[in-house]
Amino acid sequence: MSVYKKSCLMVTAVLLGFSLGACEKKGGEGPAERAGKEVDKAMDQAGQAMDKAADTVKDAAKATADKVEEVGKDASGKVTAATKDK
């Protein structure tokens, strides 16, 4: 191999090494990846809040149904008592 070809090969190898070294991320993640992680975190928190809200609504509906049933039984008892007296 001629000196010129060896020099070109050496320069190419050095430039390739610098290029590959420059591509490596120092922090392991870029701004888009950090933003994506923040979005994932916000979605998880929103999902947890929605689950909690659904549980609260479910509990309120159960309490309302129980109260309606109690009032219905009370009204039924009063109607029965009122009709027996006549």
Q: Which two tokens stand for residue 80?
A: 């029965």
| pLDDT tens-digit map of 9-56 | 888 888 877 776 666 566 667 888 889 999 999 999 999 999 999 999
63-81 residue pLDDT tens: 999 999 999 998 888 888 7
68-72: which pairs have CB atoms within 8 A and are 24 or more residues apart?
none
- With helix as H, strand as E and coil as C, how does the chain read? CCHHHHHHHHHHHHHHHHHHHHHCCCCCCCHHHHHHHHHHHHHHHHHHHHHHHHHHHHHHHHHHHHHHHHHHHHHHHHHHHHHHCC
